[in-house]
């Protein structure tokens, strides 16, 4: 069962976090939206936070679990790995997703000959190798990469590090990392019919703007919001600007 924390009353919005973290990374944003008249659900994905690990991080199966957990139409906000899951959810169960907000994510996280908008495979594999020998250090270095290039990067990094183990020590990071290495949702994108907001940082080293522009071009109904000074976590580094962009998108479908 997916652990979920729920705040507020009103139309439902489900948040899906990135690799190595948990739903609590959205806590400040969630409180603001809950106070604004929304019901916010913060999900811990398998192997993260309070949700038990599974042998494999099966993205399609997790999307099916989410659709069962939230059978009435909801708005979905997915960041990084969570955005990849959200893409599958919206494509596989269109009747349950009213709108989609994709934050610093991609249909494919590994660079290839026909996909330059990602990191080299070796960079992600190195993270996996290092987890076995320096678990906490590897996670902290990965968080640092997410803030690289943004103003006030140190403060954003400190905020993320303070939340890192707030829901306990994650137990299923390797299966989720393997899923990032293998996933390719490009064929799924044309099947996502719901209105989609794309929220990306122009300085993101993990999901470059090329991925954002590809999604904006490929998704049937998408709008791109680019934060010029942000990197991989614009909702933390540029909180007020992010809220100003996200809130109208959610309000359209509340």
Model confidence band, residue 144 (pLDDT cutoffs 50, 70, 90): confident
Q: Is 115 annotated as a binding residue?
A: no
pTM, rounded to two decimals: 0.95
Q: Is 89 annotated as a binding residue?
A: no
Q: Is 119 annotated as a binding residue?
A: no
Indicate whether 64 pLDDT > 90. Answer: yes
Is the sign of the CA dihedral 95, 97, 99, 104 positive or negative? Answer: negative
User: Is 80 known to be catalytic?
Assistant: yes
Select from 63, 4, 6, 13 the least CA-distant residue to 253.
Answer: 13
Instruction: Give, as one character, the DSSP assignment of residue 191.
Output: G
The Cα 11–Cα 141 span in angstroms is 37
Do strands 4-7 and 39-43 pair parallel, antiparallel, or not at all (unpaired)?
antiparallel
**Tokens, residue 52:** 């038990």
Least confident of 27-31, 59-63, 137-141: 137-141
The predicted pLDDT at position 87 comes to 98
8 alpha carbon, distance to own chain's centre: 21
Residues of the domain holding 175 = 4-251
Average pLDDT over residues 3-32: 96
The Cα 78–Cα 71 span in angstroms is 18
- The domain that holds 25 is classified in CATH as 3.40.50.1820
Instruction: Give, as one character, the DSSP assignment of residue 12.
Output: E
Q: What share of the chain is helix, strand, coil (3-state, %, to 5)?
A: 45, 15, 35
Number of domains observed in the structure of the chain: 1
Residues 85-134 pLDDT 10s: 999 999 999 999 999 999 999 999 999 999 999 999 999 999 999 998 99
**Tokens, residue 92:** 């596989």
Q: Is 146 annotated as a binding residue?
A: yes
The predicted pLDDT at position 147 comes to 80
The Cα 16–Cα 29 span in angstroms is 13
Q: Is 148 annotated as a binding residue?
A: no
Mean pLDDT score of the chain: 94
Q: What percent of the chain has pLDDT over 90?
A: 83
Q: Which is the catalytic residue, given 17, 22, 41, 232?
A: 232
Q: Which is the catalytic residue, given 12, 22, 80, 117?
A: 80
The predicted pLDDT at position 151 comes to 74
Model confidence band, residue 145 (pLDDT cutoffs 50, 70, 90): confident
User: Is 101 known to be catalytic?
Assistant: no
User: Is 41 known to be catalytic?
Assistant: no
Q: Which is the catalytic residue, given 204, 225, 237, 249?
A: 204
Select from 11, 66, 91, 83 the least CA-distant residue to 253.
Answer: 11
Residues 150-159 pLDDT 10s: 677 778 878 8
How many other C-beta atoms are found inside a 10 Å radius of the C-beta of residue 9? 9
Average pLDDT over residues 221-239: 94
51 alpha carbon, distance to own chain's centre: 16
The answer to whether the CB of 107 falls within 8 A of the CB of 188 is yes
Residues 65-92 pLDDT 10s: 999 999 999 999 999 999 999 999 999 9
The predicted pLDDT at position 252 comes to 77
**Tokens, residue 200:** 């990306």
Indicate whether 242 pLDDT > 80. Answer: yes
Indicate whether 38 pLDDT > 90. Answer: yes
Q: Is 112 annotated as a binding residue?
A: no
**Left if phi > 0, otherwise alpha if psi is -120 to 50, otherwise beta: which for 149?**
left
Select from 233, 238, 227, 223 the least CA-distant residue to 202.
Answer: 227
**Tokens, residue 20:** 């190595």
The predicted pLDDT at position 157 comes to 76
């Amino acid at each position: 069962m997916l652990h979920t924390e729920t705040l507020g009353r009103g139309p439902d919005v489900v948040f899906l976090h990135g690799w190595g973290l948990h739903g609590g990374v959205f806590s400040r944003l969630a409180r603001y939206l809950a106070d604004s008249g929304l019901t916010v659900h913060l999900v811990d994905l398998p192997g993260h936070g309070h949700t038990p690990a599974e042998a494999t991080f099966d993205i399609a199966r997790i999307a099916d679990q989410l659709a069962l957990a939230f059978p009435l139409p909801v708005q979905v906000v997915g960041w990084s790995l969570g955005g990849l899951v959200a893409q599958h959810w919206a494509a596989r169960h269109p009747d349950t997703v009213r709108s989609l907000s994709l934050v610093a994510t991609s249909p494919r996280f590994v660079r290839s000959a026909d996909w330059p908008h990602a990191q080299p495979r070796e960079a992600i594999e190195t993270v996996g190798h290092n987890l076995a020998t320096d678990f906490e250090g590897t996670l902290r270095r990965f968080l640092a990469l997410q803030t690289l290039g943004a103003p006030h990067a140190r403060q954003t990094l400190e905020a993320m590090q303070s939340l890192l183990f707030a829901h306990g020590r994650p137990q299923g990071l390797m299966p989720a990392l393997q899923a990032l290495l293998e996933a390719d949702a490009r064929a799924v994108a044309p099947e996502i019919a719901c209105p989609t907001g794309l929220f990306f940082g122009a300085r993101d080293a993990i999901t470059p703007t090329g991925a954002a522009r590809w999604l904006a071009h490929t998704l049937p109904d998408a709008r791109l919001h680019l934060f010029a000074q942000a990197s991989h976590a614009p909702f933390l580094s540029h909180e007020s600007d992010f809220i100003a962009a996200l809130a109208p998108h959610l309000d359209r479908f509340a």
